Chain A
Amino acid sequence: MHILLIEDDARMAQHIDKGLREAGHVVEHVADGREALFRAAGDAFDLIVLDRMLPNVDGMTILKTLRASGDSTPVVILSALGEVDERVKGLRAGGDDYLAKPFAMSELLARIDVLARRGPGISAEATRLSIGDLEIDLLGRQVRRGGQRIELTTREFRILEHLARNAGRVVTRSMLLEAVWEYHFDPQTNIIDQHVSRLRQKVDRDFGASLIHTVRGVGYILRGADG
């Protein structure tokens, strides 16, 4: 993917740049707000990673200007201001995701991955998802594996749905929390893990191959036996 990285802190930029390249992305880096606006308007990027605080032109201004000009390139906002209201402001200005500094590289990569596939991937109108022998009926809220019906609570169903919609990609704990509980907060506990492990017991335990995998230190991935 062709990514524009807008970040003024040299060490931070180097770190993100390296991480993105290692994940196979092509990265262009600018440190100045005005130049960033110029580059973003000039070239076609698949995604923009935008620091909130920049010299000359503020990150929010860049974002608003881009959106006002009809540019809909996905934007991930990075900010040391991790507060809920800041996050809401960022998303309202047209950001697609918001990540508070400091963050783990894996978290950023996972979010970029999900954003990149949002467009042409599984459409929101899809009524059925199937991964390997797992079938999810989104309308009837039913889950079958190998033809056998699995009973899930509402919450478990939503976790599974979110993992399935992003099948093959890593979903981090905070992404799950935001998508399934729809609250932005800091759990400070391993409570999400407990939910996933309960889901796993129902979806994976009695079937030979596991579908839900833990990515150590990052999150979870739902993957068919063949994938």
Chain B
Amino acid sequence: MAATHLLKRLSLRIALTYAVLFAGSIAAVLYVLYWMNVLRPLEMLHREVETEASTAVGTYLLEGPAATRILLERRSHVRAHRKAFHLLVDAHGRVLTSNLPSWPKRSAGGWARIEADIYREGEEDDYMALVYDQRLPDGARLIVGRDVESIDQFSTNLRQGALAIVGSTLVLGLLGGLVVSGTIGRRIDEMSRTARRVIAGDLTERVPVSGTGDDFDELATTLNLMLSRIEELFESVRRVSDSIAHELRTPLARLQADLDDLRQSGPGEAGHNALIDEAIAEASRLQSIFSALLRIARIESGRHGVTLRPIDLTAIVSDAIDLFLPEIEGKNLALTVDLPPRLLIEGDSDLLFQAVSNLLDNAAKFTPAGGTLCIAGERGDAGTVLAISDSGPGIPAEARDRVFERFFRLPATSKLEGAGLGLALVRAVASLHGGEIELADAGPGLTVRLTFRSSRS
């Protein structure tokens, strides 16, 4: 993996940011420590030495070198937390008093640090003196200072320690970032590889699930469910377009044959007008298949643009029964209708009328003469239920899901009129209304049960 690619990684960027932030806060803590133990004591010491130096200068100017010597020597014998150092040399270079082991030849003329290790009985005491070195008006040289060995020592230790701590935090953070980035990156890579293969057209591809049940597994499972759903939908679209192509080929072929025959026969010839009528009928059959398909597609995709409003299902079913009454009576079917005076649901009356008509049309078409037809509606706990039962041949259990597919027709009914779109439309209308359609055995015959969930009202 290229370094630039690695740096683009979100996970690595996050890890790095955290490492830097962490190292930064450690550095801040260390600085506070440094300030408390080094900077602040040094500053106080500077002030102390300044005061002591000006006292010594004052004494020298007012009371002379001898008094100053006494002052300085007394000061050096006072037991203090930090050892006091001094040097007083007169204008001729004679040392009047000193407890410094050595000092620079030339005066620094201000603040300086002087190594002041003292050997006593073979042992060395380490001292570092922070001194104020000045020339007095008569040419004498005065150095006043205090030991800062422990502060300097602490300062050195702290600086070295800080370097190690901050450095190792950064290195560890970077390493951690690399590891996390590698792990997360691998999972993300797997997902995008899968996505790319799906884009390339392989809808059977799935994101690998590691089985640890972590967030990535959860995401992968969700993505896989989505892919399955898409595959399913895609499959059904493919099936539909396959069957459309297949189902439309027959009427188109017949239409073409009719037109071909028409060209052969001249006007006035026997059957000429019949051929024209046949061709027109074929074209309008094609047209009605198309409109039914479009309608189903529009209802299913929710593009129908209907607004559901309270309507009376009883009135709609009664109107539909009324429409099919000639057919029902013509076949001498025993009709039982059991509907309450009003069945209010939220719906679209045109679509519901179409759906109920399709169901009644099927029932009337498939039930043999002299059979029974039973229509019942009720409002139950589950919602409003409309059940239409007939004593026809029924639908075998294994075909009950498939009859809702477009163009699916039971072998036994293929001789009868129809395109196999009626139930597909009923189901689309039902689901648009948030309802469900169920097929059951009426023993003998078929019961179609439409359930509309109750609205809140």
Contact = CB atoms under 8 A, between A and B. Distances in A.
Contact of A186 (B277, B283, B327, B354): B354
A155 B320 CA distance: 12
B327 A155 contact: no
Contacts of B319: 181, 183
B205 interface: no
A71 B354 CA distance: 35
B350 A84 contact: yes
Interface in B260-283: 277, 280, 283
Contacts of A100: 291
A155 B284 CA distance: 28
Contacts of A191: 323-324, 326-327, 361
Given A100-B291, A102-B287, A217-B277, A83 B323 contact: no
A189 B291 CA distance: 15
Given A186-B288, A188-B288, A83 B298 contact: yes
Contacts, number: 63
B291 A217 contact: no
B291 A194 contact: no
- Chain A interface size, under 10 / 10 to 19 / 20 to 34 / 35 or more: 20 to 34
- Interface secondary structure of B, over-half rule: helix
A184 interface: yes
B330 A185 contact: no
A197 B329 CA distance: 13
Nearest to A183: B353
B349 interface: yes
B305 A194 contact: no
A104 B323 CA distance: 24
B409 to A, nearest CB: 14
Contacts of B284: 104
B322 A155 contact: yes
The residue among B288, B306, B348, B357 with the most chain A CB atoms within 10 A of its own CB is B357
Contacts of A217: 277, 280
B361 A189 contact: yes
A178 to B, nearest CB: 11
Interface string A173-213: 00000000101111111010011011000000000000000
B229 interface: no
A54 to B, nearest CB: 21
23 contacts: A82-B294, A83-B295, A83-B304, A84-B351, A85-B304, A85-B306, A102-B287, A104-B284, A183-B354, A184-B350, A185-B353, A186-B288, A186-B295, A188-B288, A188-B292, A188-B361, A188-B418, A194-B327, A194-B330, A195-B323, A195-B326, A197-B326, A198-B326
Given A84-B351, A185-B353, A188-B422, 15 more contacts: A85-B304, A85-B305, A85-B306, A102-B287, A104-B284, A181-B319, A181-B323, A183-B349, A183-B353, A184-B350, A187-B357, A189-B361, A191-B324, A195-B323, A195-B326
Interface of A: 82-85, 100, 102, 104, 155, 181, 183-189, 191, 194-195, 197-198, 217
Interface of B: 277, 280, 283-284, 287-288, 291-292, 294-295, 298, 304-306, 319, 322-324, 326-327, 330, 348-351, 353-354, 357, 361, 417-418, 422
